[in-house]
Structure 1
Amino acid sequence: MELGVFSLSLNVKDIHTSKSFYEKLGFKVFDGDISQNWLIMKNKSCIIGLFQGMFEKNILTFNPGWDENATKPDTFTDVRDIQKQLKARGIEIQTEADENTSGPASFVVIDPDGNPILFDQHVDS
């Protein structure tokens, strides 16, 4: 099972302050729109998302179909196939992807400590 690129999506109080802080750690803006209160920042292969006012908790994020440069690899595991495999392993899906569709989709699971894990596919399989 290929989960795709990993990032941490952070719920931030002030996106400008957070952007400045992470720039001091060597991160650079990779994508996003600060006027919409979201940025994706990278430091080599480390990726974080800064999101102000969009969700309550920090979220572990996997993007099936993307590598660390947001490009589609030659092969990857579709998000619906990952969902099916996790269900078969007894993991409860909090928010499900429609398994009768194709292309972009997402689902969420919650780990034993209450941390949300988002599987978010942006590309066609």
Structure 2
Amino acid sequence: MKLGAFSISLAVKDIKASKTFYENLGFSVFGGDIEKNYLIMKNESTLIGLFQGMFENNILTFNPGWDQDAKPIENYKDVREIQEHLKSKEVTFASEIDSDTNSGPASFVILDPDGNAILIDQHI
């Protein structure tokens, strides 16, 4: 199953210190707003989100409909189809998409067997 662009979202204590650290590793700011306490850092095709005060733990993130440059792709599985497939496999959900939506942006969160959160977040 294609899940879209992958990134890891890190819950950081000091966004400015984290920004400097990842810049020292060769990452540069790709998106976000440091004044709003979040940045997306990129090194080649690797994406790391830095989030201060937004959530407690790190999250694996997939973006259906996007490539690693956050550009729309034509052929992708809609997040709602992915949710239905995972429900049929009895995957544990932490949050689900409202059943009243049938297209457009939406997201859900599942938990792996160790409780790690995986965000499936469609922006288009």
Q: TM-score, normalised by structure 1?
A: 0.96
**Is 1:8–1:49's contact at 8 Å kept on the other side of the alignment?**
yes
Corresponding residue of 1:51: 51
One-letter code of the match for 1:47?
L
Distance in 2 between residues matched to 1:54 and 1:100, nearest whole Å: 27
1:98 deviates by 1.9
Instruction: Decide which moves more: 94-103 or 69-78.
Output: 94-103
Distance in 2 between residues matched to 1:113 and 1:80, nearest whole Å: 24
Distance in 2 between residues matched to 1:93 and 1:85, nearest whole Å: 12
Distance in 1 between residues matched to 2:25 and 2:46, nearest whole Å: 11
Alignment map for 1:18-57 (pairs within 5 Å): 18-57=18-57
Corresponding residue of 2:81: 81
1:100 deviates by 3.3
* Count of residue correspondences: 123
**Is 1:79–1:120's contact at 8 Å kept on the other side of the alignment?**
yes
1:61-113 Cα distance to aligned partner (Å, 9 max, x none): 00111110101111111000000000111112220012331100000001111
**Is 1:80–1:98's contact at 8 Å kept on the other side of the alignment?**
no
Corresponding residue of 1:110: 111
Which 5+ residue runs of structure 2 have no aligned equivalent?
none
Moved over 4 A (4+): none
Corresponding residue of 1:66: 66
Corresponding residue of 1:119: 120
**Is 2:92–2:112's contact at 8 Å kept on the other side of the alignment?**
no
Distance in 1 between residues matched to 2:92 and 2:51, nearest whole Å: 26
Which 5+ residue runs of structure 1 have no aligned equivalent?
none
Identity %: 63
